């Protein structure tokens, strides 16, 4: 899960998060780190330093420059945005109740990978070129991340508050404020677009976390086919017992008669306890709940204390091929590969990503004659969930965008082949020539080349072009 909100008060945010960081540090939980490419230019890294954190929220750079807009009341600077990444409940239980540090490491890496996607997609600023303000992409941001282990009611709830600063560095080396318009004529999105795309970013985060858990632990991942997952073996009754905050928020939303994202944030604020449990108090609560539920973390396969873990490790080393990580997904594509006339061996990450992006593209085309990048990324991530990282999908998507796509007048995309077919169709209409658009053989070859077929376990690739493929005009 990912929620996005604007930081309203720099002093309020710094006081709260630095105080919590100190409390968790005293209780043995290492809670903070910097993320983002801009940290290199700012010469910061590692744990979040309190003074640097406060200064950056206020727009005070290490160089001594003060960012902001001059007003009669002084310089005003918008602090930035808070992104809250939350692990699935079973992941939180195994990480915290099960004291599995590997999960916390995977969670931290998933936050960093997702932030890289955010940098490459949304980081932009405005610069003056030839007397006009121009929007430019920058591909760099910086955020202070604080790991918190509990909800306000003390239940295990591994989450990270990433406070993204309102700053980015342009090619001239200057650090400027983020461009915050939702969308402009060039299709570049700024900081405010995070609100619009928070569900997609949450999906990307969960996919990264699932991939990392499969790569670095022996836990079995159970997908729900909607972009969420849980760890197999953690009882649902236990997850429900540790989800009282979720029930409170849903109950308040029902009372409000509004189930939107904004309403959920409002309900969260209204129902939250002003006094939070300490981590030590929360651990006592966990012991009681686990005893009542008769749950032992070591019962879950993949946990370091599970008796079958050593046997699993030996089997993994002795019998599994080096690229077995992609075996399950590649099996789904065997028929597709055979139909394409290529070798039906285990596919590489690159091949899998290309085919899944093609499947997502065809799905979007079956709904509408055009699509945007976020639609393709969402569909591709759902199809490759827990098997391919977002970086793999982005590379495949970028390749297709460069070689296969063409932008329409509306700012969306369609395929080059489809645009050529549409142009030919319009030419027939305007010339009033009663002739076929193409022969049956040409159409079958074109359809085969576009791979419009069916992928078992992946979804339909077929696209209806009946309105464009009439034999005569």
Predicted confidence at residue 229, as pLDDT, reads 94
Paired sense of beta strands 132-137 and 69-71, if any:
unpaired
Q: For Cα atoms 240, 243, 247, give the angle at the middle one, nearest 5 degrees.
A: 100
Q: What is the percent of the chain where pLDDT is above 90?
A: 32
Q: What is the mean pLDDT of residues 156-183?
A: 87
Residue 467 has pLDDT above 60, yes or no: no
Predicted confidence at residue 94, as pLDDT, reads 95
List, for residues 281-308, the tens digit of each pLDDT value.
888 888 888 888 888 988 888 888 887 6
Higher local confidence (pLDDT), 449 or 87: 87
Q: What is the mean pLDDT of residues 311-320?
A: 40
Residue 185 has pLDDT above 50, yes or no: no
Residue 186 has pLDDT above 50, yes or no: no
Cβ–Cβ < 8 Å for 45, 149:
no
Beta bridge partners of 75: 70
Query: Using CA atoms, how far apart are residues 82 and 54, in angstroms rounded to an integer?
Result: 14
Name the token pair of 375.
């639609």
Q: What is the mean pLDDT of residues 50-67?
A: 92
| pTM, rounded to two decimals | 0.78
Higher local confidence (pLDDT), 347 or 470: 347
Residue recorded with tokens 């979040």 = 48
Residue 322 has pLDDT above 70, yes or no: no
Higher local confidence (pLDDT), 74 or 3: 3
How long, in residues, is the chain?
473
Lowest mean pLDDT among 1-5, 139-143, 266-270: 266-270
Predicted confidence at residue 319, as pLDDT, reads 32
Q: For Cα atoms 234, 237, 238, give the angle at the middle one, nearest 5 degrees.
A: 55
Q: Pick from 100, 70, 467, 90: which is nearest to 309 by CA? A: 100
H-only helix segments in 275-415: 279-292, 309-319, 327-332, 334-340, 349-367, 373-383, 390-403
List, for residues 248-262, the tens digit of each pLDDT value.
777 777 777 776 766
Predicted confidence at residue 338, as pLDDT, reads 43
Higher local confidence (pLDDT), 438 or 167: 167
Query: Using CA atoms, how far apart are residues 36 and 203, in angstroms rounded to an integer?
Result: 20
């Amino acid at each position: 899960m990912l929620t996005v909100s604007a930081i309203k008060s720099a002093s309020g945010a710094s006081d709260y998060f630095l105080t919590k960081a100190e409390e968790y540090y005293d209780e043995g939980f290492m809670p903070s780190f910097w993320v983002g490419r801009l940290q290199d230019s700012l010469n910061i890294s590692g744990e979040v330093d309190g003074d640097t954190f406060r200064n950056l929220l206020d727009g005070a750079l290490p160089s001594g420059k003060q960012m902001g807009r001059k007003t009669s009341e002084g310089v005003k600077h918008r602090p930035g945005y808070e992104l809250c990444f939350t692990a699935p409940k079973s992941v939180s239980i195994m990480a915290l109740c099960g004291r599995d540090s590997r999960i916390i490491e995977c969670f931290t890496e998933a936050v960093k990978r997702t932030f890289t996607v955010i940098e490459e997609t949304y980081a932009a600023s405005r610069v003056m070129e030839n007397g006009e303000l121009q929007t430019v992409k920058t591909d760099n941001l910086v955020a202070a991340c604080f790991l918190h282990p509990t909800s306000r009611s003390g239940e295990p709830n591994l989450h990270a508050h990433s406070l993204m600063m309102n700053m980015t560095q342009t090619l001239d080396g200057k650090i400027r404020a983020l461009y915050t318009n939702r969308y402009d004529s060039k299709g570049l999105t700024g900081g405010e677009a995070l609100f619009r795309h928070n569900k997609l970013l949450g999906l990307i985060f969960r996919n990264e976390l699932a991939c990392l858990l499969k790569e670095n632990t022996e836990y079995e991942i159970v997908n729900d086919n909607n972009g969420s997952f849980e760890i197999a073996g953690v009882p649902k009754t236990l997850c429900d017992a540790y989800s009282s905050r979720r029930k409170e928020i849903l109950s308040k939303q029902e009372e409000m008669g509004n189930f939107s994202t904004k309403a959920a944030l409002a309900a969260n604020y209204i129902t939250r306890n002003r006094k939070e449990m300490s981590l030590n108090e929360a651990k006592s609560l966990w012991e009681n709940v686990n005893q009542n539920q008769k749950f032992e973390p070591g019962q879950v396969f993949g946990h370091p204390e599970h008796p079958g873990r050593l046997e699993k490790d030996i089997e993994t080393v002795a019998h599994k091929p080096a690229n077995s990580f992609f075996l399950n997904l590649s099996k789904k594509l065997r028929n597709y590969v055979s139909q394409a006339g290529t070798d039906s061996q285990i596919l590489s990450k690159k091949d899998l990503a290309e085919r899944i992006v093609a499947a997502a593209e065809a799905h979007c085309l079956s709904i509408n004659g055009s699509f945007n990048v976020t639609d393709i990324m969402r569909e591709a991530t759902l199809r490759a969930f827990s098997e391919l990282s977002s970086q793999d999908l982005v590379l495949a998507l970028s390749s297709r965008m460069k070689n296969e796509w063409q932008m329409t007048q509306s700012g969306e995309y369609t395929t080059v082949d489809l645009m050529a077919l549409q142009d030919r169709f319009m030419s027939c209409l305007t010339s009033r020539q009663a002739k076929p658009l193409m022969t049956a053989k040409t159409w079958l070859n074109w359809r085969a080349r576009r791979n419009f077929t069916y992928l078992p376990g992946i979804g339909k690739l077929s696209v209806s072009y009946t309105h464009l493929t009439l034999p005569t005009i």
